[in-house]
Amino acid sequence: MSDHTSSSSSPIILAVIALAAAGAGAYFYLQPAEQAAPQPAIVEPVVEPEPEPIVEVTPEPEPVDPDLIEESGDKPLAYDPYLADLGTRPDYNQLGIYQETITRPDFERLLTKVYVVGDSWKEWISLFDDRAEIRSNRHQPDEIFTLRFAPEQATQMAKLAPKFWQKAAELPATTIDKPLADLVIAIDPGHIGGDYAQIEERWYQIDDHCPVMEGEMVLVTAEIIKSQLENLGAKVYLVRDENAPVSQLTIDDYQAAAAAKVEHYDITTPDATRKLQERYLYRTGEIRARAELVNTQITPDLVLCLHFNAEAWDDPSNPTLTDKNHNHTLLHGALTKSEIAHDDERYEMLLKILQGVHDEEKEIGKAAVTAMSKHTGLPNYEYEKNSRRAISVDNFPGLWARNLLANRLYQCPVIFYEPYVMNNEEVHARVQAGDFEGEQEVFGKMRRSIFREYADAVTEGLVKHYAGERKIDKASQNLSE
């Protein structure tokens, strides 16, 4: 791989990016508010891209009779403390197709250096020279799945591991002007926006300015990126193409599951069930619906999760802007003690390990961080060195692993982008300026629209990675020279 810490790009990459940008259509984001907006909600703080549970989950909750845990189609009816919220019980026997596809050193490296914070994995996974014994069902403590390791002379990790996605090196040779040909990409514009922007707390408004709604902002950005990537040969799908949920469930469909959890933990907070139903509607259930779409219909080689970051408000009834601004880029990993204790999260982690997702994902991530830093000029958000919920990826500045729901559920490499603090003074001004071609003076400086700057950074990072890893047809390379 080329040096990802350099801020310069080759002439070929710059030319390819320019070609993609030239073909991108024009989009305009902001429209004046038609009526007075209600009071703005608290914007989620930077250190919590995924909010804490409504209740602190105890490490060892009381068992629930498995016969009482039932589902009706996609409508959740109960709560299982041994699964993540709205999770379904996994069949560990399905991992049998990965027998002898990974060596013990590779398995242990990924388990201990990437996917779990600390040594809490030892309660659930026992390592031997030739196998791992994994607890698969906390309702049945003696139920063990045995994973046989490949001989250590098998140097290529997960060489025969089944998966629907392709690594960059596995893609066929391409031409210099189509470095992303044969690559299937799903773009997941985070959140929902529209009528859901306020309930999901990804909305704010200053005075009579146009509302700032993350769900709508990332959809605009996604459409620009889609056009650019298609011009470079990729096949691109938007996981959502409107400011509406992907899930077909309603808030009432989550009433039984939410009530079951509230009853299980004897929560007496007023409106606790309704608040949990809302979270299931706009976040947990919605992301799970998107995962079903990604994993069973789109089956991409890569997912791009698009977000804008935010800082918390001092006073939600009278919000003010902050001077903090940065980039935030995440891969999957860093399960905590309570997370790996869930049977489904442990299974999903194993699937990532056995498919060799991380080693491909981290190289894309390094290129993504480098390009985003170059285009935005912003510092990278860094967690504390000994964070209990984040792991530095190869000590690469600005690249961290976190156990976010989308990153965990999508069964392929996933890059979670979260640049810009959307309640920053400068970012607010740039959002008010909307999307435009070329440059305009915004906040005292000539600059591109914030949406196109974001898109250009994403595209350049992907080109840098895939053009560097794929075989380029010599005839097209000679022609370009």
At 5-23, the pLDDT tens digits run: 333 445 445 545 554 555 5
Does domain 11-480 correspond to CATH entry 3.30.1490.20?
no
pLDDT at 206: 87
Lowest-pLDDT range of 52-66, 144-158, 166-180, 198-212: 52-66
Per the CB < 8 A criterion, the answer to whether 419 and 454 are in contact is: yes
pLDDT at 97: 96
From residue 182, how far is each of 58, 170, 264, 462 by CA, in Å? Answer: 46, 10, 49, 14
Measured CA to CA, the distance from residue 160 to residue 15 in angstroms comes to: 37
Q: Which residue has the higher pLDDT, 241 or 157?
A: 241
At 416-452, the pLDDT tens digits run: 999 999 999 999 999 999 999 999 999 999 999 999 9
Per the CB < 8 A criterion, the answer to whether 152 and 453 are in contact is: no
pLDDT at 475: 60
pLDDT at 23: 52
Return the exposure string of 433-472: e unless at least 16 CB atoms fall within 10 Å of the residue's CB, then b. Answer: bbbbeeeeebeeeebbbbbbbbbbbbbbbbbbbbbbbbeb
pLDDT at 45: 37
Q: What percent of the chain has pLDDT over 90?
A: 74
Work out the average pLDDT over 25-50. 39
Work out the average pLDDT over 222-226. 99
Q: What percent of the chain has pLDDT over 70?
A: 80
